[in-house]
Amino acid sequence: MAVTAVVGLQWGDEAKGKIVDLLTDRYEIVVRYLGGNNAGHTVMFGGQTYKLSLLPAGILRPNVTSVIANGVVINPAALLKEIQSIVDQGVEIGDLLISDRAHVIFPYHLVEEAVLEKSRGDQAIGTTMRGIGTCYRDKIGRTHAIRVGDLYRPEFFRERLRDIVAQKNTLIQAFDPGAEVLDAAKIYDEYSRLADQIAHRVTDTTAFLHKALKQGKNMLFEGAQGSLLDIDHGTFPFVTSSNSSGCGIHPGSGVPERAIDRMIGVVKAYTTRVGGGACPTELMDETGQHIRDEGHEYGTVTGRPRRCGWFDAVATGYGARISGVDCIAVMLLDVLSKLDELKICEAYEIDGERTTDFPSHILDLEKARPVYRTLPGWKKDITGVRKLEDFPKEARAYMDAIAELVERPVDIVSIGPDREQTVFA
């Protein structure tokens, strides 16, 4: 029996989807435990590209049971649309279970997020505008939350929604008197219809997972976002609204971390970030643009150009420690193949002091000046490499430096989007 977790160690978009997809044939169950349709996971095989957002990558394998666990926030219309798009691509959907404890995203969450983000001006978080943060806010606040299980208790659901929508209208109108007034009855009808369409998949996934563990089933936890976007440990307030480091697995699924025997941290060979918040190694020059072009660094969810920069071992090492990963997978190494020299940030200088600790306050992170280690580039196409020994020595030295500074072994290297373009150490 194997219970494995795959988590991002940076600011998301580490190509976790590829690693999860590669591993899924060895697992019977794949679990998504946090976030919602703010995530964008791209999986490529057999000449097809699959874009997943809420669905676990296990959905692409017919024998895998995919689980959307309690920690996820679900927009049911977006979920059904995503299922349809995968079916349209010819995928035979296997079992998909949805937690009755998961929270539901409603139209007012999107409207509320839009007015709140707008009100912050240049201090906006730069969210994906999917109502993720506003839904989690209601979850934590309790009084305005609706869970999947509530959708199947019609009287309870109708009354709750009526009260919540009335208060949301008051709040939204206060921020933006021009905003559309939401209609509780209309939302009730729409969500009741959507709930019917997913009803056969809704269950107590926590109980399901624990039975599976007892039966010795192989289970894979698929992270979304990244450790530095974690609500507690990330670059607050420029984070997502859930525990997106490894520490979110337990609250997000009900499976304790001690049940997990291998935790894989996924990192890009460089740094990217979308949305606001400091990013010490960001490159505003042509090297940054080169990385963006070579890596096709444009958001899969929002299409925004990603901010690109050198690999930041201070930030990533912190992510690795917070998440408690055993090893790392280095992704998109091939994107760096044309550069003459490469830099890795091995420390920060803050107010003249050198440190390898990741600052807890955003204002300190904004002041952090990266201290770089410079390494020679390999200037060769590495997309055809299939064995560790066949990498140019400069590429191996680059990976060794990452392993040394992040203090975790590099177990997997990816040099292209295809399943075959992967080297296991």
Is there a contact between 296 and 338 (Cβ–Cβ < 8 Å)?
no
Residue 333 site contact among ligand IMO, Mg ion, none (CB < 5 to 8 Å, cut-off depends on kind): none
Q: Which one of residues 9, 224, 320, 385 is an interface residue with ligand IMO (CB under 6 A)?
A: 224
- Can you name the residues that pair with 305 across neighbouring β-strands? 298
For the chain, the straight-line distance linking the first and the last C-alpha, in angstroms and rounded, comes to 22
Is 340 exposed, middle or buried, given 0-12, 13-18 or 19+ CB atoms closer than 10 A? exposed
Is 375 exposed, middle or buried, given 0-12, 13-18 or 19+ CB atoms closer than 10 A? middle
In the complex with Mg ion, the residue whose CB is nearer, 298 or 424, is 298
Question: In angstroms, what CA-CA distances link 262 with 1, 7, 65, 394?
Answer: 11, 11, 20, 29
Binding mask 121-140 for ligand IMO (x = CB under 6 A): ----xxxx-x-xx-------
User: Considering only residues 265-284, where is the footprint of ligand IMO by CB under 6 A?
Assistant: 274-275
Helix pair 184-198, 154-175: axis angle to 10 deg:
130
Position 370 contacts ligand IMO (CB under 6 A): no
Encoded amino acid at 247, one letter:
C
Active site residue 13: yes
- Can you name the residues that pair with 344 across neighbouring β-strands? 311, 373
Q: Which one of residues 4, 6, 8, 31 is an interface residue with ligand IMO (CB under 6 A)?
A: 8
Span near ligand IMO by CB under 6 A; candidates 19-27, 185-193, 221-229, 279-287: 221-229
Position 56 contacts ligand IMO (CB under 6 A): no
Position 138 contacts Mg ion (CB under 5 A): no
Span near ligand IMO by CB under 6 A; candidates 33-41, 172-180, 203-211, 259-267: 33-41
- Nearby residues of 95 by Cβ (< 8 Å), 6 or more positions away: 64, 65, 66
Nearest distance, CB of residue 229 and ligand IMO, angstroms: 5
Q: Which one of residues 5, 7, 9, 12 is an interface residue with ligand IMO (CB under 6 A)?
A: 12
User: Considering only residues 331-370, where is the footprint of Mg ion by CB under 5 A?
Assistant: none
Binding mask 14-53 for Mg ion (x = CB under 5 A): --------------------------x-------------
Q: Which one of residues 235, 240, 245, 316 is an interface residue with ligand IMO (CB under 6 A)?
A: 240
Q: Which of 21, 41, 144, 312 is catalytic?
A: 41
Tokens standing for 164?
A: 């919540």
Nearest residue to Mg ion on Cβ basis: 40
Nearest residue to ligand IMO on Cβ basis: 275
Position 229 contacts ligand IMO (CB under 6 A): yes
In the complex with ligand IMO, the residue whose CB is nearer, 42 or 184, is 42
Is there a contact between 243 and 7 (Cβ–Cβ < 8 Å)?
no
Question: How many Cα atoms sit within 13 Å of 99 on the Cβ side?
Answer: 28
Binding residue count for ligand IMO, defined by CB under 6 A: 23
Position 252 contacts ligand IMO (CB under 6 A): no
In the complex with ligand IMO, the residue whose CB is nearer, 123 or 197, is 123
Position 31 contacts ligand IMO (CB under 6 A): no
User: Considering only residues 369-388, where is the footprint of Mg ion by CB under 5 A?
Assistant: none
Collapsed DSSP state (helix, strand, coil) of residue 57: helix
Q: Tell me the longest C-alpha to C-alpha distance in the chain.
A: 67
Position 105 contacts ligand IMO (CB under 6 A): no
Residue 71 site contact among ligand IMO, Mg ion, none (CB < 5 to 8 Å, cut-off depends on kind): none
Residue 134 site contact among Mg ion, ligand IMO, none (CB < 5 to 8 Å, cut-off depends on kind): none
Active site residue 196: no
Question: In angstroms, what CA-CA distances link 411 with 4, 202, 399, 420?
Answer: 14, 36, 10, 16
Q: What is the dihedral of CA 259, 261, 266, 269, to 10 degrees?
A: 160
Position 226 contacts Mg ion (CB under 5 A): no
Residue 329 backbone dihedrals phi, psi, to 5 degrees? -110, 120
**Given the structure tokens 């095989």, which residue do they identify?**
45
- Nearby residues of 406 by Cβ (< 8 Å), 6 or more positions away: 9, 265, 267, 313, 316, 317, 320, 328
Residues that bind Mg ion (CB under 5 A): 12-13, 40
Residues with catalytic annotation? Answer: 13, 41
Contact footprint for ligand IMO (CB under 6 A): 8, 11-13, 38-41, 125-128, 130, 132-133, 224-226, 229, 240-241, 274-275
